[in-house]
Amino acid sequence: MLFDYTQTDPKLNYKLMSQTIIPRPIAWIVTENEGVVNVAPFSYFTGLSSKPPTMIVSIGHKSGGMPKDTLANLHKSGKCTVCMVKPEHLEWMHLSSKEMADDQSEAEKFGIPLERKIKAFPPMVKSSPVAFFCELYQETDLKGSKTIPLVLEIKQQYIDDGCIVDNERLTVKFEALARVGRSYARIGEELSAPDIP
């Protein structure tokens, strides 16, 4: 089948894209607002550039049309901590995706342990293997879109010592949780490239 995205409904476009642009790694984006720590998972994110070191994430709105807490908090503080989600975090990740009032913390409500590594940034999820400490770099206006793409500049990065398997080459390995269509998958299995004569 051939789908003409200039003619299809945005809901159908999302359905098609989310099931075929795979895998999509899931990360928690942690933000703060007046002492309330917001922990929200996103699967529409990826690395963008190494100079400047940036990633991009698309953030939607709440069911009532108001900006999601992550977006509102980033507009206020300009800072966030992006934490990779491990397969063992699946239940926490699912619970933290629920819409909550902006004065409620998912970390407190669902018992997600946090750890502040860098004073100037929001805390990270304590058991995350990798975390990026970021500042809002640029916001993009996609005319007519319900999502807002944000470019985040990576200022510092945490990698759990247990994930560094070769210090000399700085080789990092860890399992991550990803969306594959409508379900979830573990990312981490390595496949060897075939020898090409």
Query: Quick check: is 1 in a domain?
Result: no
- Distance between CA 105 and CA 95 in Å, rounded? 12
Domain containing 90: what range?
Answer: 10-183
Instruction: Tokens 């970021």: give the residue.
Output: 134
> 156: which 2 tokens?
């510092």
CB 63: neighbour CB atoms within 10 A? 7
Query: Quick check: is 195 in a domain?
Result: no
197 residues of the chain, pLDDT tens digit each: 878 888 888 888 888 877 777 788 999 999 999 999 999 999 988 989 889 999 999 998 888 888 899 999 999 999 999 999 999 999 999 999 999 998 999 999 999 999 999 999 999 999 999 999 999 999 998 888 888 999 999 999 999 999 988 888 788 888 999 988 888 989 877 767 777 66
Question: Is beta strand 27-33 parallel, antiparallel or unpaired with respect to 53-59?
Answer: unpaired
Q: How many domains is the chain partitioned into structurally?
A: 1
Query: Quick check: is 18 in a domain?
Result: yes
Query: Quick check: is 189 in a domain?
Result: no
CATH code: domain of residue 43: 2.30.110.10
- Distance between CA 81 and CA 46 in Å, rounded? 14
